[in-house]
Structure 1
C-alpha cells in the first residue's frame, strides 16, 4: 500500500512559524495596564535607564558624528536615492505583514508600487510610482500585526542601538527579520547590500533630524522620560488611538522603527 508523501516546510518557514507562535504567546501572557489607561507601564525602568545611557553614549561618541560626516560627504541626491532603494527593499516585508493583517488593499498597493519601482525605477533607485500618483507604502511591521491580532502592548523597553520599544514591538522586530522574502531569495554577500542601504538611510535620518534628536537626548531635563513619552504617544496614535484614547503627536508623522532614537522625531 502506497502512502502519500509529506514534505515538511523549509527550515526558514518553520522558524518563522515558530516565532509567530511564540510572539503571540509572549505578548498575550501577562496583564497589560496600558491597555486600559494612558499610563506608562514601565516595570523595567532601572534597566531601561541603564540601556538609555548606553544608547546616549553610543550616539554621542559614534552615531551622531558618523551621521554628520556621512551627510557632509554624500551629496543630497545620492542620499535620496539610497533612501528610496532601502524603502523599496522593505516593501516585501510590508506586503507579508499586510496580508497577515488581512489588509489586502494595502498588500495590493505595496505590490504594485514594488513592481513599478523595481522595474521602471531601476530597482528602487527612482520612485516613478509616486510620480504616477500611486498610494504611499503601508510602512507596517509585525508589531502592528500582533496589535491587529489582539496582542497586548506589554511593558516599555529600551533596546540596545534600536532605542524605545515595547514588549510587543520587540517580538515584532525579531519576527520581521524573517518576514522579508528577499532574505530567502538573495544570498550572501548580495544580501548585505540591503543591510548597508538601511544603515545609510538611518544615518541620513539621524543627520536630517539632528537638532530635534539632540534637544531630546542632551538638552531635556530627563531624556529617558522624554524619549519614552514621545515613542509611546506616537506608536499608540499610529496603531489607531480611539476617541477615548487620544495621543498627541508632537513631531508629526513619527515612525517607530529605525536606528537609534530616530523614531522619536519622525
Structure 2
C-alpha cells in the first residue's frame, strides 16, 4: 500500500513511472463477455446508453462510444474468458483465466484509479481545455516519430526488414519534411504505414510467454513480458540518447501524460459500465492479447 506524504512526492512517483515506459493503453477494445451491468436500459443501436452498450457487446454487436474526440466504434474481440477463476478443487468445462497475483493487482488497480481520478484526469481535462485538439494531434505525431528508431531495432531483431525499412523512411521523412515529426507526410504523401514494434512484440516473436497478468503502477494493465518491455524501453528510448536528465525525464513524462489524456474520457466511461471494473479491464487486456496472437499466427500461416 502506497503512502504519499505530500503532493510533491506523488508527482515524483508519477513522473518516474511515466519515464519508465509512457502510459500504457488503459482503455483497449471492450471484451465480448465478462461484464455485467448495474442496471438495464432501453436499447438504441445508433447511440446506446453506457450499460446497454455492454449488453450489445456481450451479444456480439458493434457499438459506438461518444468521446471528446468524437464517436469511436468498438466491436467484440475474438476470444472470450469467464469472469472468475474456477473454484479450488473443482473442474469446469468453462475457460477460466488463472490470475495468481490478483490480490496485488486489485490493490494496484485501486491505487491507479484514485490517482487517475484525483490527479491525472483533472489534469487531462485542463490540458484539453487549454490545448486545441489539432495541437495535441501534432504533439502525438512528434512523440510517435521519436519512437521510430526503437521500432526499427525491434523489427530488425525479428527479421521484419520491410517494416524496418518503413520505420527508417518514416523517421527521415517526418523528421525533415514533417518538421521534426509534427506532421506525417510519410503516411499522407508517400503512403508509408507505421509499423510499431515493442520489445514485448520481439519476445513474443521468439515464443517468450506473456506470464501472469500484472497491473503496473500508473501504467495499468500488462503482464510479465510487457512489464519487462516497458522498463527496458524506458532505459533505451531515443529521447534518453539525445537529451540529458532531467529534461529527458520531463519529456518522457509529458509523452505518457499526452497518451493518457487521449484515453482518460474513455477510461471513465468504461469504468462506470462495469460491475467489477478490475475484471472488466483485466479481461479486455487478456482478450486483446489473445486476439493479436490469433491474427499473428494466422498471418504467419498465410505467408507459408
Q: Flag whether TM exceeds 0.5 (same fold).
A: yes
Question: Which among 243, 254, 265 is matched to residue 186 of structure 1?
Answer: 243
1:237 matched to 2:291? The reply is: yes
Aligned to 1:248: none
Considering fraction of residues, name the structure with more helix: 1
The alpha carbon displacement at 1:157 in A equals: 0.7
State how far apart, in whole Å, the 1-side matches of 2:96 and 2:171 are: 39
State how far apart, in whole Å, the 1-side matches of 2:251 and 2:198 are: 17
State how far apart, in whole Å, the 2-side matches of 1:174 and 1:104 are: 25
Question: Which among 69, 87, 102 is matched to residue 159 of structure 2?
Answer: 102
Indicate conservation of the 8 Å contact 1:158/1:165, yes or no.
Answer: yes
Aligned to 1:135: 192
Question: Which among 68, 81, 87 is matched to residue 144 of structure 2?
Answer: 87
Indicate conservation of the 8 Å contact 1:92/1:182, yes or no.
Answer: no
Q: What root-mean-square deviation, in Å, do the aligned CA atoms of Structure 1 and Structure 2 show? A: 2.1
CA shift digits 1:215-264 (9 cap, x unpaired): 32233100000000111111222244457xxxxxxxxxxxxxxxxxxxxx
Aligned to 2:278: 224
Indicate conservation of the 8 Å contact 2:146/2:238, yes or no.
Answer: no
Alignment of 1:1-266 (within 5 A): 39-188=96-245, 190-192=247-249, 194-207=251-264, 210=265, 212-241=266-295, 242=297
State how far apart, in whole Å, the 2-side matches of 1:39 and 1:175 are: 31
Higher relative CO (Cα under 8 Å, sequence separation at least 6) belongs to 2
State how far apart, in whole Å, the 2-side matches of 1:179 and 1:103 are: 20
State how far apart, in whole Å, the 1-side matches of 2:288 and 2:190 are: 27
State how far apart, in whole Å, the 2-side matches of 1:199 and 1:177 are: 11
Indicate conservation of the 8 Å contact 1:83/1:197, yes or no.
Answer: no
The alpha carbon displacement at 1:132 in A equals: 1.4
The alpha carbon displacement at 1:191 in A equals: 2.9
Distance 1:71 1:57, change over 3 A: same
Indicate conservation of the 8 Å contact 1:79/1:204, yes or no.
Answer: no
The alpha carbon displacement at 1:185 in A equals: 3.6
TM-score (norm 1): 0.71
State how far apart, in whole Å, the 2-side matches of 1:159 and 1:213 are: 16
Show structure 2 runs of 5+ residues with no match: 1-93, 299-304
